[in-house]
A = this chain, B = another copy of it.
């Protein structure tokens, strides 16, 4: 992700996967990525999962209003229920307003 606009919103989602339903999870994750990209104010997303099943996904939004609209999207809410039911052992979610942003690429 390149430099973010000051005042934009980052959503940090940190989740421990269960071992259950890998195919269902992968399908849902793919569908949510695609749907997020179509939402107003979507700026980007970055996601990493380690071998132990802990994952961090950060999504970026032009405004907190946009982040809340994505949170409240009915398809997203339904997937969240499935996540709590089947895919996650625990998660944290932190919403934060960008105050500084830098980007570096090896010259």
Interface positions of A (Cβ within 8 A of B): 1-4, 9-10, 12, 14, 18, 46, 48-51, 54-56, 58, 64, 84, 88-106
Contacts and interface: CB of A to CB of B under 8 A. Distances in A.
Dominant SS at the A interface? strand
Contacts of A50: 48-50
Q: Indicate how many identical chains form the complex.
A: 2
Nearest to A89: B106
Contacts of A100: 93-95
Contact of A90 (B9, B97, B104): B104
A64 B105 CA distance: 25
A17 to B, nearest CB: 11
Contacts of A101: 92-95
Contact of A88 (B14, B89, B106): B106
